[in-house]
Amino acid sequence: MSPLYDEHADLYDIAFDWDISQEAAWMQERMGRDCRTVLEPGCGGGRVMEALARRGLAVTGMDTSPAMVEIARRRLAAAGLPGEVVEADMTSFDLGRTFDGAICPVNTLMHLSRPGMHAHLEAMARALVPGARYLVQLGMRGDGDAPPSIWEADRDGTQLRVTWMPERRDEERGVEFHRSRLEIVTGPRTGEVYEELHEMTVWSHRQWGDAVAAAGFEWSGMFDGMEPGCPRVGFDATGGLLWHELIRR
């Protein structure tokens, strides 16, 4: 397991904790009025779960990191919100029930290998009722290099400078290597720096469409997560934070 999601889960939770209330409203709208129960695989510290729970949805999250599971449970408890968080593998889980909808943001699925993605989509198909929407944020690369993402985040006196930078691509294997860097600039741990290299699977539009269809989903739409309101875009769009709407057949 990546140290970023386990040993440094507390820092990850700060780094990726920004206001997503408007995006949560969009997610709820896309999942439909009949959606009452929502599953989030790879839920991390539970920030999306909290936002959806505040909108009245019954949320369940899962993650392979015990540290992330604990952070998510504490987040929901501190907010006084109901929700369940379980430790489970998104490629082989069985929670014993089905859900009305599901979400997976911020390119979490790029961490899966191609076989892992196929297994995950098949598991998600089993976990969703027919007609349910699964909203997946998955970047689709064009011919150019992806730009680095650099931002700052702070909580309770700890301020971070965060960099996420694609470094190189292995075209033969269909993977990119991304470097994450967390630098603590204020707080009791000032000066600490954590860097890690991540192997991320790159998907062409055809490869992704074939995987979605093979698992029993319809790829029904794409939306630009970088723009306010997440406007619909064409199926040939490229970018780092594209939302894909999958419908369980």
Mean pLDDT of 87-96: 98
pLDDT, position 64: 97
Domain ranges of the chain: 3-141+203-248, 149-201
Tens of pLDDT, residue by residue over 15-31, are: 999 999 999 999 999 99
Among the CATH numbers 2.20.130, 3.30.70, 1.10.287, 1.10.357, which is that of 149-201?
2.20.130
Beta bridge partners of 199: 177
pLDDT, position 149: 93
193: number of CA atoms within 13 Å, CB side? Answer: 7
What is the average pLDDT score of the chain? Answer: 96
pLDDT, position 145: 63
pLDDT, position 109: 97
Tokens matching residue 144: 């150019």
pLDDT, position 146: 74
Fold that domain 3-141+203-248 belongs to in CATH: Rossmann fold (3.40.50)
Mean pLDDT of 95-104: 98
* Cβ pair 241, 225 in contact under 8 A: yes
Tens of pLDDT, residue by residue over 145-185, are: 678 999 999 999 999 999 999 999 999 999 999 999 999 99
**Amino acid present at 173:** R
Mean pLDDT of 74-83: 98
pLDDT, position 1: 76
pTM: 0.96
Helical residues (DSSP H) of the chain, grouped into ranges: 9-15, 21-31, 47-53, 66-79, 114-127, 205-214
